[in-house]
Every structure is written in structure tokens, then in C-alpha cells.
Structure 1
Amino acid sequence: MVELKLIQPKNRELNGGDLLAQCLVQLGVEVAFGIHGGHLDAFFMGCSDNGIRLVDARHETVAVQAAEGYSKIKGAIGVAFVTANSGFVNGLPGLASALADRSSILVITSSPPMADAETNTIQGYIDQIAVARTLTKYAQRVPQPEEIPRFVAAAYRTAISGAPGPVLLDIPCDVLWRPVYQSRIAWGSITSPLPVPPGPSSKAITEAVRLWRAACKPVVIVGSGGRTPEAAIQLAKLVKATNTPLFHGAKYRQWNIVDSAYEGGSSKNLGGMAAAGAGRPDFVLLLACRPGMYLGGRAGVIIPKEDCKLVHVDTDGTEIGRILPVDLGIVADLTETLIALNNEVAKSPVEGPKSWLNSAVGLQMSSEERSDAAKEPEEIYPGRMNPYHAVKRVFSALEPGAIVCFDGGESALWGSDTVGFARPHITLGALGYLVLLGNGFGYSLGAAIADPSRQIVNIQGDGSAGFHISSLDTYARFKLNILTVVVNNYVWAMSIHGQELFYGEDEPVRNISRLSPDAQYDVVARGFGVAAAKVERIEKVAAAVNELAQKKGPGLINLIVAETPIHPVTRIYMNANPDPNQINIPYYAPIPRPFYKE
């Protein structure tokens, strides 16, 4: 057994905090996000001595979400720290979103000395492990400092194995501060090589290629599990070899993976294929992407329910067939599966029809051709810009290669419609399956630390901006190249538009969906030391973007836009079609009326 070569601190004994930091370094951890708490001081000293960078946020939720954003961009586990009880409960939204979106993060927390259990001591009321187990893949309390390597190794491997997800370690402060008996250390697998990812069976690969070859209208849809560099290389090779269009899930997209001749764009474009006269796919290869709300749910809008063969590849076998019937499920690592598919296609070629490829790729029309909002005036009335055109102008003024995070309701929808004008490197859908607002501040922080060479663009609505705007202070202190754009229409747009579609414009309930026009986000930004501009005219947008880009560090644009038009996706979400025998429910399928209504 290989043991970790321990580094003895200067002027003090090696304690649990030192051992924890050295275990993380052994696993390749370079940075951790969080907020200070005295319970963790021994760990902070260990990080300082062992080269782990500490990035302090202004809220624990943001810290945990920054670890998630870091993981998404870096392709490595993200680490966050939160102090006992108060910090722990503030970090729970981050754990929840990481679990729902399958992000590999490790959260370190602490608790009162174990001898003080059940004594009503400070920050000791909540049983953190009992709470965390519902929101993690693995949550354990470390009982002795000598056990730290064993627990860290187990947590780390759990986070990255199978379906990725969050893990948590609660290390009581007496365990962190206590000197380590080095002869008693339980090393576990802290120095062992990481497990080789599981590959697919040869039988499954042969069957997948057989189904593919028989198809006339094949497509590939790739999700957020396909973001490693090797997966991108293998994916590009596969779609080119098979002449198959590639579509992307909603939560993550890495641009320029394939030649534009094979690029079908967002998977939502598949929903418009029949209407455009291109027909519907008869074969779908679904790669590391879960069916659900972002793939049309059970409605069959994106993945047809009939006359279509579905091959689903995922590391989590419980996701295969959960919602849609599959013709072939492959439980395996995506990269290993792509390599195997490429090898099989080289032996037994597949060639999709050129006419189908051209039709499918042609659906990725410019948003100018696709959006009714694009055809409306750039300014709805003086001082209030059309949100489509305003966001488009922001993206058009950016230097190519940014990382773009979408957060908010309709602001995120306008952003996803127009982001192609930015020619970005990566886009992140910050809302995820929980549709938590405010995630984009943490994602942007993590992305900026993970890849400081790129500009990060943090798209917010004026509603979502209110959750974690204090993160601007963190951006300024670390001089991060993050441009926050607050798409400001003085309302919770998706909410108020939904109420309008359901109940008309005069219902009093709409009052709870209004925000204050007196809120000056640009003034708030300057108060945190961030360069800012308020933009109310369409011709001023590009100049503001360019001016802020010239300044070192973060910037913010308070982008004043009109309350209308309603985004078409909002209309879809609201299901507000007038059918007297259905009860429409926002965001979900209508339910039948229990009695017939004339």
C-alpha cells in the first residue's frame, strides 16, 4: 500500500485540518469556495500551507454553486466549505441543485466537538448528516483525525463515479484541531489510481450501430455529461463518420464541437421539425442527457414516442427508461462508448442520408428568421428596449469565446435565443432541474476561477439579480473578468405574463409580480467597486459593452427593457389554451375537468 507523504507544518503539530488539506491536494484539488467560520480554522491553515486557494464568497449558497460552476468548466471536482449549522443550512440550495443536475462537488463542513453532542451548544442544533443525506450521494461524519484519508477518498470516488453528484463530510472541530497519530492513519484508497470508467458491451455497440444503419432520419443529442475534451473529439468524429446531425441539451453546450455542416443546435429545434416540413427523427442516440422537462417530457415533442428507435447511453442505469421507452440502453461512460461506436462504425459503416442532414441542420436558422420578437421594433416605446434586440446587441458586441451563464425567467430565454451572436465557448443553463434563481452568480464565480483566460457573461433578470447581487463584491475583490447583465423590466416577467395569459390584465394577484423601477443595479454595483452602466437606448448598448470590456475586473450593465413582448416559451409553459373540458396548470400538462362543461 502506498501512503501519502505527509508534510509537517512549521511551528505546530500535524493536525486533522492539515491532513484534510493534504488529502485534497493528493486528489488534485487546487481551489475551494466558501465563507469563514471558526470551526474550520485548522483546515484553512492546512490549505494555506499546502497551496489550496481559498475563494471567499458572500453567501454559502453562492459558494457551493461556485464549486458546481468550477466543476462544469474545469472538468474536475469542485470543493466548497461551509461552517457549522448556520453556514450548512445556507448551503443546502447548492447541494440540492448539484444533486438534481448531477454535478460532482465535495462540501466540507464542521460541527461542535463530539463530546458536546446533545448539550444545546452553539451551532450544534441541526443533525447535519441526517439532513445532508437526502441531498447528496454520500454524507458522513468523520470520527477521528486518523480516519480523514479514508473518508475523503470514499467521498471523492462517490462524487465522480456513476452518475456524478454532491458529497459532504462533516468533520467536528475537535477532529480538525486534534494532533494526528501518524502510525494509526487509515489511508483507505487516497493514493490509489482512480477507477477506470466502465465501457459498453460489444453486443450493445453492435446493436446500436445496427439500429442506426436502418434509420432514415437519425439524430444525436448530447447532454451535459459530454463536456470532457476527449468526449468532444470522439463525438465530432462519430457524427462526421455517420453523416448525422448533432443536437445539444439545454443545460450545457460547448460550441464548435463539430463542423457547422453537422450542427443542429438546441434540441428544442427538433420540436419544430414536423412544422417545418422536415419530418421527425426515426432514430435518436441520446448521450449523457436525461429525458425530462428539457427534452419535452412525456409529450414526445422532441423525442418522438412512435416510429422512432431510442438508444440511451448514461452512467446511471436508473435513468434509462425512466420516462420514455428505449430500444437499447447502455450503462457506460460516455467517452468509452463513443470510442467503441467509432471503432464499430469503422468496421461496419453507417451513412445517414445527405438530404436529411441538410434539412435538420437547416432548422438552425438564425433567430432573426425564427423569432416573432425579432420582427418587432427595437424599442417598444422611448426608454424601454425590446428585450430580444437589447440582449442581442449585448451579445453582438462581445469578443468571441466567452462563457455565458443564463439565470432568470424570460431573461434567460431571450439570452438563449440570441447567444449565437456572441460566438461563445460554452453556455451554461444556471437554472437546472430545480429552476433555482440566482445560481448564475455562483456559476459565474466558479467559471471565472476555473478559466481566467475567458470573459464570463452572467445574464440575470432583475428578479434573479436580487438573490445574490452581493457576489459583485467577490468579483471585485478577486478582479474577475465577469460581465453581469441585468435585463431589467421591473417585473417578474414569466410570472406576470403567466397571470395575464390565465386571468387577464386586471387581476390583483399580478401586483405580487411587480418590482421597483427605483432599483438602480448600476448604483449598487459601483457600491461594491464594480464598473457599471445604465443603458436605456438601443444605440448605446454596444458602446457600454465595449467600454466595460476595456476596464480590468468585473462590470455590470443595467439594461432597461420593456415588459413586453411575452416570450413564446412562456406561452407554452402556461398551457393557456381555451378548452372548457381541461384545467390548465402552469408549467405542467393540463388535467381533465371532472365534469363536462358547456
Structure 2
Amino acid sequence: MANLTGGHLFIRCLKQEGIQKIFTIVGDTILPLVDAAADEGIEFIDTRHEGAAMHMADAYARITGQPAVAMFTGGPGYANAISGLPAIFTSESPVIFVAGAAELPEKGMTTFQEIDQVAMAAPVSKGSWMIHDRRRIPEFVATAFRTAMSGRPGPVHLTLPIDIQEQEISEDELPQYLPHEYRAMGRAQADPSLIDDAAALLSQAQKPVIIVGNPGRYSITAEQMEKLAETTGIPVFTVEQARGLLDDEHPLCFGYADGALNPTARRFREADAVLLLGKRLDHRYRYGQIFNTAAKLIQADPSPAEIGRNRGVAVGLLGDLGAIVDQITAAAAKSSKQDISSWVDQLGQDRKAWNDELQSKATGEQPMHPLDIFTRIEHLIDRDTFIVMDGGDYVQWGRSYLKARMPGRFIRLGPLSHLGAGIPYGMAAKLAYPDSKVLVFIGDGAFGFYPMEYDTCIRHNLPITTVMGNDATWGIDKTFQLAYYDRAVGTDLRFIRYDKMVEAIGGYAEYVQIPDEVAPAVERALGSSLPSLVNVAVRSGASPLADAMITRRRGS
């Protein structure tokens, strides 16, 4: 190995955090870091667009439940990469976004590709810093990981100038502390008296529900969630990154905690006690007003800023969500419970009625309904399959119909709905779990953002299978235009044989127009051992999500 440098010091700090892969496009001002990473055995996953690398890091964090690192040259590489940062921020994924920069003494002199990277990242990250001294590299890396994983998770940014990467260091300057020595590693419990209050409210309720949101992915295990549900007997709904924390097939799990996609969740308005595990009272919940005014809200959150935000709560529980789940489970085991079987039965009837309604739309007509796809391929999806949902009205039908079975296996665009990210998400899933099936569902409009990542799939042996619903429109926006203005403007696309594009890059692809040919084509794609695309002609039409958004906007 050559002389140790600031670059080696930075990479050693990442290795201490368990980082083994970095998502990137290599460029000028990170070349010393790249060379040091090669010395240290770090694997680089190089994409064809920096935005795609950011989305891969986002998904890798969601899938593994651990922080992920994306690294780029400063200036133009950073500018391309930051397009993915707002989506990561709103999805609350712990991504460490690293960028190089020109020499520190030249900062402010219109130096090479100079932009204020730290200031640009600050509004859409939990923290943004420039490392200005090689001796402080361990401190800044520790701060970045501590910030990304504390409270509600989220991304952070570090800029490391190239001259600091190149400065020689001694062995004495290598990291002196391990992660457990520079951040809290335990699980903070909530106030025991408040736990008792929460357990009492839940045990007295006639129509209680539990709703699990983003932070639950990083602190609650599937086993803990199942034990809470079975001990309390309370119906559970999951949303965002928490999908799959309780298997949708479990008798007490009633699926998506979003009435726009799952009419069963519209019963929230009848609930008399609601346990929110990391779920924000955001616009989708009308800032807490989807619950009736008499409902007792119990809000558990790792961030004090969220408790009581937008609506007052009966009990606020601050702490690690996994620890709080254990506390409530233990308290509930000692309490008597109301008979809520009629409530659970009602939700079960709603769930069955919705599933029957969805299945009835798969009529086999041409051009086919999106549910002709989802109903015909569900037998190919096992519990371990990764289901990745990108954008398009077509995809929303799948979000309503397909089930989340395990944590980190049901992945969708975050609240920002950054189109096209599904392909990088699928790539990250295949990288993390190469033996699992990965199915990406995407509309033709969204596919256009990152099609060249099929080259990345081939170079890194990531045989994802994408099932496209192709209606040659920006479907959901066209639906909105027709609903609000009685005409469509700028929302028509050309019909393109995207399958031929994927074939030209080196993948496997088929074009399908007949419903009965969908499942055989997807099965051949999965069996091809190549990155694959099944391009399916579908008809346009409003999805459940689009209908709900139109109804809400019209105030009806």
C-alpha cells in the first residue's frame, strides 16, 4: 500500500461503520478517495447517472435497514446527484451523501467547478458539513452517521476537498474510536407511566387501530410487531417504509394505511383509539383530521418535534419505537381487553370486498386493464420477492392489490414521488439479495428517466425484471387535466418499443398485448438470468389513488 492519506482515513472511518459498497460515478475531485477505497477493499457500484446512484443508496438503506453511502465528484457530479436528495430526505432514508471539491485554500476564488455544496444540501438533509482539516475526518464521519441514524432517520452531506484527501497521515491519525464509542447504541424507552396510560386507552377501546410509519423500519422487528398485534388483538395498518413489518397475510394486518389505496383504512374515522408508531400526521391524514374528534391518539415517535404536531394527542411517547413496542406489549399482556371481534370482522369484510372489486376489473379485454397484469402474475411472487413500485397510474393498481410480506420487500417512491427511481431501487434490491426475485413495476413515462441503468445492471450482474404498463401517456396527470379542465395538454407520449431498447443494451425483453401472455412472458424474463423488461400495452384510466385525489380536491 502507498503512503496513507486523508482519503484512506475517510475510507477507514466508513469501513468501521460497516460500509462495504459505495454508489457512485467516478470523477476528478474524488479520485484520491476512489484509489484509497480500492486499497481498502470497498466495492464501487458505478451507475450511468449520479441521480440513479443516489436512488440506489436510498433503496439499499431501506432494504438493509442500515446507512448507505453515495459518493461523487464536486460541481457537475454533485449537481446531478443532488436531484435525488430531496426524495431521500422526504423518504427519511439514512444516506451519507459525499462529494469532493477543489482545494480548500482556493474556496471563494471561483476555483474549479465551485458551487456552495454545503448550503445547497442543507435544506434537504439532516446535516451538511465541509471537512476542513484532515485531523477532524473521524469526527465529521462520526457526526454524519450519528445524525443520519438518530431520531427519525434521514440523509446527511459531507464535502471533502481534494487537497485534504491527498494529505499524508500517520498511523496515529487513523480512527481511535469505534461506532459504539461515539453514539448511543441502546434503545431509549418511553416514560413508564405514559406507557401505562397508553395501554389503558388501548385496552378500553372498542375500535382501536395501530398505524406504523417510516421510522419503524429501522427500529421495530417483524417479530416485535407480530407480538404486539397478537397480544393486543388490535388491527394493524402499515405505510411507507414500514410496509411488511407485519405480513399483509396476517389476520390482524389490514394493509396500506392509506384510504386512497385501501378503502379499509377509511374506517380510521370510526376509530376511538389510535396508536401511531412513527406515522406523521401529514397531508395524507389531513393533518390528523381523518380521525374523529373524540378519538384518543397515542403518538409514539423518536423525535419530540413530531409529537402533537398538527393535532393534539392523548398520550405522547418519546423514544425508540422498538423499545416502545416492547413496553406496550408487556403492559397489554397484564391488562384485560374489550371484545373487539366485531370491529376486526368489519375490517375483514371491507378487505375482502375491496380485493373482490379489484379482481373483478381483470376482465381479459384488450387493451388490458392494469389488474389483468397484477392478478395474472401474483402466483410468481413469493414471500421473499422484492416488489418495487415506480410511478404511473398503472402502478397504483398494484400498490392497492399486491401484498407486503416482509420488511424492506415492498418498496415505492417516497412522498416526493421521484419518477424513474424504481429501476435503481430494483438494482439495489438485487445487489443486497442476489438470490431473491426483483419485480419492478413502472409506467412508460417513468421508464424514460433511467433506461441506461440497464447497462449498469449488465455490468454488475443485477438481473432485475421490470414489468412496464405502456399507455403512451403521462397517465395520472392526464387524468387530472381531464377531470379539472376537460382537456389534456402536454401529457401525450409516443408509443415506443422500449423492449427493443433493452434488447439493444444486452438485456432480455418481450412485448405483450394479450392478457393470457403476461404471466408466461414474466416467467421467461425471470428465468433469463438477464436484466429484463416486459413491455405490456395497457389502457389508460384513473387509478384508486387518482380518483381519491380528484375527490379530495373537489371537496366531495
> Common fold, TM-score beyond 0.5?
yes
Instruction: Tell me how many residue pairs correspond in the alignment.
Output: 554
Q: In the alignment, residue 569 of structure 1 is paired with which amino acid? A: L
Q: Distance in 1 between matches of 2:277 and 2:175?
A: 39
Query: Residue 312 of structure 1: which of 287, 294, 299 is its match?
Result: 299
Describe the shift of the 1:523–1:259 C-alpha distance in structure 2 as closer, same or farther (beyond 3 A): closer
> Does the aligned pair in 2 maintain the 1:128–1:170 contact within 8 Å?
yes
2:153 maps to 1:164: yes
> Does the aligned pair in 1 maintain the 2:477–2:491 contact within 8 Å?
yes
Query: Residue 394 of structure 1: which of 377, 387, 392 is its match?
Result: 377
1:59 corresponding residue in structure 2: 49
Q: In the alignment, residue 567 of structure 1 is paired with which amino acid? A: S
Q: Distance in 1 between matches of 2:170 and 2:519?
A: 62
Structure 1 residue 412, shift from structure 2 partner: 2.2
1:403 corresponding residue in structure 2: 386
Q: Provide the TM-score with structure 2 as the length reference.
A: 0.93
Aligned-residue RMSD, C-alpha? 2.5
Structure 1 residue 426, shift from structure 2 partner: 4.7
Q: Distance in 1 between matches of 2:165 and 2:269?
A: 62
Structure 1 residue 445, shift from structure 2 partner: 2.1
C-alpha deviations, 1:474-502, integer Å up to 9, x for none? 11211113111221101111111111112
Deviating more after overlay: 442-451 vs 185-194: 185-194
2:116 maps to 1:127: yes
> Does the aligned pair in 2 maintain the 1:149–1:190 contact within 8 Å?
no
Q: In the alignment, residue 334 of structure 1 is paired with which amino acid? A: L
SS at match of 1:497: helix
Describe the shift of the 1:178–1:262 C-alpha distance in structure 2 as closer, same or farther (beyond 3 A): same
Q: In the alignment, residue 349 of structure 2 is paired with which amino acid? A: G
Describe the shift of the 1:370–1:76 C-alpha distance in structure 2 as closer, same or farther (beyond 3 A): same
C-alpha deviations, 1:258-280, integer Å up to 9, x for none? 8722121222359745988x982
C-alpha deviations, 1:74-128, integer Å up to 9, x for none? 011011001101111111122211211211110111100112223333212x111
Query: Residue 322 of structure 2: which of 331, 335, 355 is its match?
Result: 335
Q: Provide the TM-score with structure 1 as the length reference.
A: 0.87
Q: Distance in 1 between matches of 2:75 and 2:450?
A: 20
Query: Residue 253 of structure 1: which of 238, 243, 250 is its match?
Result: 243
Query: Residue 484 of structure 2: which of 502, 505, 516 is its match?
Result: 502
C-alpha deviations, 1:13-69, integer Å up to 9, x for none? 100111111111111111110111121122112222222211111111111111110
Query: Residue 179 of structure 1: which of 168, 192, 205 is its match?
Result: 168
Query: Residue 102 of structure 1: which of 85, 92, 96 is its match?
Result: 92
Deviating more after overlay: 149-158 vs 405-414: 405-414
Query: Residue 254 of structure 2: which of 252, 264, 275 is its match?
Result: 264
2:471 corresponding residue in structure 1: 489
Q: Distance in 2 between matches of 1:229 and 1:116?
A: 43
SS at match of 2:153: coil
SS at match of 2:188: coil
1:460 corresponding residue in structure 2: 442
Q: Distance in 1 between matches of 2:535 and 2:213?
A: 32
Structure 1 residue 397, shift from structure 2 partner: 3.4
Q: Distance in 2 between matches of 1:105 and 1:174?
A: 24
Deviating more after overlay: 540-549 vs 444-453: 444-453
Q: In the alignment, residue 527 of structure 2 is paired with which amino acid? A: Q
> Does the aligned pair in 1 maintain the 2:254–2:264 contact within 8 Å?
no
Structure 1 residue 355, shift from structure 2 partner: 2.0
C-alpha deviations, 1:269-307, integer Å up to 9, x for none? 59745988x98211111111212244x324744xx1322
2:348 corresponding residue in structure 1: 361
Structure 1 residue 539, shift from structure 2 partner: 1.1
Structure 1 residue 230, shift from structure 2 partner: 5.2
Aligned runs of 1:133-212 on 2, under 5 Å?
A: 133-183=122-172, 187=176, 192=181, 194-195=183-184, 196-212=186-202
1:533 corresponding residue in structure 2: 510
Describe the shift of the 1:57–1:470 C-alpha distance in structure 2 as closer, same or farther (beyond 3 A): same
Consecutive unaligned residues of structure 2, counting only runs of 5 or more, are none
SS at match of 1:496: helix
Q: Distance in 1 between matches of 2:298 and 2:288?
A: 18
Question: Once the two structures are aligned, what percentage of the paired residues are identical?
Answer: 28
Query: Residue 514 of structure 1: which of 477, 483, 492 is its match?
Result: 492
SS at match of 2:275: strand
> Does the aligned pair in 2 maintain the 1:77–1:160 contact within 8 Å?
yes
1:5 corresponding residue in structure 2: none
C-alpha deviations, 1:331-379, integer Å up to 9, x for none? 21110101111221223343552222222233222654233x8346322
Aligned runs of 1:415-434 on 2, under 5 Å?
A: 415-420=398-403, 426-434=408-416
SS at match of 2:199: helix
Describe the shift of the 1:424–1:227 C-alpha distance in structure 2 as closer, same or farther (beyond 3 A): closer
Q: Distance in 2 between matches of 1:174 and 1:388?
A: 56
Query: Residue 431 of structure 2: which of 437, 446, 449 is its match?
Result: 449
Structure number with larger C-alpha Rg: 1
Q: Distance in 1 between matches of 2:339 and 2:303?
A: 29
SS at match of 2:123: coil
Higher RCO (C-alpha under 8 Å, 6+ residues apart):
2
Describe the shift of the 1:193–1:55 C-alpha distance in structure 2 as closer, same or farther (beyond 3 A): same
SS at match of 1:94: helix
> Does the aligned pair in 2 maintain the 1:448–1:454 contact within 8 Å?
yes
1:374 corresponding residue in structure 2: 360
Describe the shift of the 1:298–1:143 C-alpha distance in structure 2 as closer, same or farther (beyond 3 A): closer
Q: Distance in 1 between matches of 2:405 and 2:173?
A: 55
Q: Which stretches of structure 1, 4 residues or more, deviate above 6 A after TM superposition?
A: 422-425
Query: Residue 284 of structure 1: which of 274, 279, 299 is its match?
Result: 274
Structure 1 residue 144, shift from structure 2 partner: 2.1
Q: In the alignment, residue 357 of structure 2 is paired with which amino acid? A: R
Q: Distance in 2 between matches of 1:50 and 1:376?
A: 53
SS at match of 1:207: helix
